[in-house]
Structure formats: structure tokens, C-alpha cells
Amino acid sequence: MNAPRPARATHRVPAPDVARGLMLWVIAVANITVWIWAPGPTDGLRERTLGAGAGTAGWTADDLVNMAMSMLVDGRGFPLFSFLVGYGVGQIAARESARGTPLPLAQQLLLRRYGWLLLLGALHACLLFPGDIITAYAFGGLFLALLITASTRTLAVLVGLGTVLMVLFGAAGWAARSPGTVRYPSLVAESPQEWLALGLAEGTAVVILAPIQLLGLLPMMLLGLALSRYRLLEAPGPRRTRLLGTAVICIVPGLATGTGTGLLTTDMLEPSAAAGAALAGADAVTGAAQGIGYAIVVALVCARVQGRGGDAAAPLRAREHPALWSLQALGRRSMSGYLAQSLLFTVLLPPFALGLGRSLTPTAALLLGTAVWVLTLLGAALLERRTLPGPAEAVHRRLYLGTARGGAGPRPPV
């Protein structure tokens, strides 16, 4: 049986966008490690580059950074974005239902939206960054478009089955790791021609394999679709105490397993193959739950600083809440922010460009990734002040809505 669907706000709800804007920082500091091409040791569940003090008795700044990244960042951002994709599908479906749009037309809208997103993701994977995640999200959106009428119980069963897959994917990732190898050769290419040729091949492979990658993200998308029916992020205030407890339950286990993976990256834990696989599988689930905890905390903060009667749907104002307002601006333009990160990293890191990837330590990578994210945050804030959409969002909207509705008119509350 489906949950009740209360009336929705007529404007765009801040909390999901604030969460997207914040998670773009998580993605920036996680993705930059993929671009680091300095010769040297890598280890751990995600081949994070080790600092100069790896294997020594003392802790270095790089060790502390690796621990913090494992506990707070790795495997947390992409599941949260997956959750927000599913939540957004639910919001669109509810909005179209409130407008009286027939179900087939609502599904067609979603299929067009995520079909064109798949094309944009494929271009990103082939031309900028083969570690693209947009294509997997697009496939997920296409799948969810067919499930918008599914009962909440059905979605819950699918989430449970998908969680088993998440554990298996995490364990398989540990078993298949190859420390010291370059994940994407195009990112260490010596010339633009080599970079483009390798990138096209790698990007094509990423698009082909995206449905498989989706299996590890789909449970969070399904959970987002289910919880959108309860307006978890729009109106958390009446359930503040319960949701705060839920956030703690989500975040604490992730911190625990993240501590274990962090010890791996600092070379202070050498588990057996079975123990390593078990830790990786557990971290895949607890890390995803930690991302959901982040979203709940964001929704509670938005409700506290801006909502009336615990309603987090009231618009944020730049003067009163500049930090949240800026994060919301970036979240509204999350695809543009994500693509801008790839563009800036392409200029800064590869050998054929500025070549900063040759010498980045984990600490330096964290600082540079943060600086790139701040640039996208400032750019989004400038566009918000001028009431302009992100360039990628404008193109995407025109593609899936057509010229009649694809202009820079009012943004739908999704």
C-alpha cells in the first residue's frame, strides 16, 4: 500500500538541493584521487594514494586525511546522489499527478528526461572523464520511471534484494583491486591526441557497463523513490526527534566501517582476503546509509533555520543563510557543477596539461579538490543571483522538454 502524498510546495524545496551542493564537494575530493598519477604506492579499498609516511609507525598528515576520507567521503557521496535521483523521480511523479497529468504522459516525461541525460553522460564519459556516474544515474531514472506506480511494499522488497547486491559488489571490489595500477590510462596520457583516443575507448566501455554499475546504486534510488512519498526532505520538522535518531543510526556504523577501511589506506591493518572482503561489503552498505544520514541532517538543518512549523520547504534567502543558499544554488545546477569539476581537473592534473597530478599528496589533493568545488560554488551563486540556470541544465531541459517549454522559465520544484 502506498504512503499518503501530502500537498507539495509550489516552489523548489531547498533540502535536496542543499544536499546535492554539499555532496558535490564529497565527489570532488573523491574523484581527484582518480587523477593522481604520481608513481608511488597505492592501497586500500579504493586505491587511495598513500602519503610519504605510509608503513611507518607514526601518523602523518596524509594518514589523517586518508582516515577522514575513508570515514566521511569514500562510498558516501554517490549513494546519496543515487538516493536523491530516486527522490527526484518521486517528486516529479507527484507533481505531475497533482497537475492531472495522465500516467503514460508522466512516464514519457521521465523517459525523455533520463534518456537525454544518458546521452549527456555518455559525452562526458567519452570526452572528459571516464569515471562518469551520470550514465548510471540515467539508466536508473529510466528504470524508476516504470516503477512510479509500484507500491511502497514492493519498493521495500526491491531495496532489500538490492542491498544484498551492494554487499556482493563491495566484496567483489576488494577481491578485484589492483594496487599500484592506473585505473584510466587516458588520465595519464602524455598528449591531447592520446588522451582523446584512450578516453573515447574508456568512455564507451563505461557507458556499456553502466547498467552493471547501476546494480550497486539502484537500492538507494529505490529507497529515495519510496521515501519521497513521505516527504522526508520537505517536511521533517514534525518528526524531528525520530529523524535525528535515524540519522545517528545511519551515520555511526558508517564511521565504524570507514575507520576499518581508513586503517587499510594507512597500511596499519592487513586483513585476510576473507576479512577484507567482509569489511568492504559491510562498508558498501553502511557507507550508503551514512549518505542517507547526511541527507536527513541537511533536511533537519533547513527546517530549523528556515521552516515554519517544521516545514523545510520555505525558500532560503541569501542574506539570512548565505552558506545554505549557496549550496542550494549549486545543487540546482548539480550537473553543471559536476561537469565543471571534470573540466577543471582536465586542465589542472593530466601530464599533457598543467600536470599537477604528478606530485599531489593526499593532503594536497584534498585542498585542490576543495578549491575546485569552491569555484563551482561561487559560479553557481553568481548564476543564482542573475536567476540563470546552469548551462548543462539549460541544454538538458531544452532537449527533453522541447523548445516550447525548454526556455529559462520558472524551474519546476524537483
In a domain, 8, yes or no: no
Whole-angstrom Cα Rg for the chain: 21
Q: pLDDT grade, residue 267 (50/70/90)?
A: low
In a domain, 2, yes or no: no
Domain that holds residue 274: 14-401
Helices (H) and strands (E) in the chain, counts: 13, 2
Between CA 71 and CA 79, with CA 73 as vertex, the angle to 5 degrees is: 115
The residues with which 2 forms a beta bridge, in sequence order, are none
In a domain, 4, yes or no: no
Q: pLDDT grade, residue 407 (50/70/90)?
A: very low
Q: Which of 101, 79, 82 is nearest to 92 (CA)?
A: 101
Most confident of 275-284, 357-366, 376-385: 376-385
DSSP-based three-state secondary structure for 18: helix
What values do phi and psi take at 42, rounded to 5?
A: -130, 150
In a domain, 78, yes or no: yes
In a domain, 111, yes or no: yes
Q: Which of 412, 408, 370, 371 is nearest to 390 (CA)?
A: 408
The count of C-alpha atoms lying within 13 angstroms of the C-alpha of 134, restricted to the half-sphere facing its C-beta, is 29
In a domain, 407, yes or no: no
CA distance 97 to 208: 34
Residue pair 254/76 in contact (Cβ under 8 Å)? The answer is yes
Q: Is the pLDDT of residue 129 over 80?
A: yes
In a domain, 414, yes or no: no
CA distances, 85 to each of 16, 80, 142, 314 (Å): 10, 9, 11, 21
CA distances, 66 to each of 259, 276, 363, 392 (Å): 10, 17, 8, 32
Q: Which residue has the higher pLDDT, 5 or 316?
A: 316
pLDDT tens profile 363-404:
889 999 999 999 999 999 999 999 999 999 999 999 998 854
How many domains does the chain contain in total? 1
List, in order, residues 6 or more apart from 39 with CB less than 8 Å away. none
In a domain, 410, yes or no: no
Average confidence score pLDDT of the chain: 84
The residues with which 48 forms a beta bridge, in sequence order, are 43
Between CA 72 and CA 170, with CA 266 as vertex, the angle to 5 degrees is: 55
Q: Is the pLDDT of residue 79 over 60?
A: yes
pLDDT tens profile 160-182:
998 988 888 888 777 666 655 67
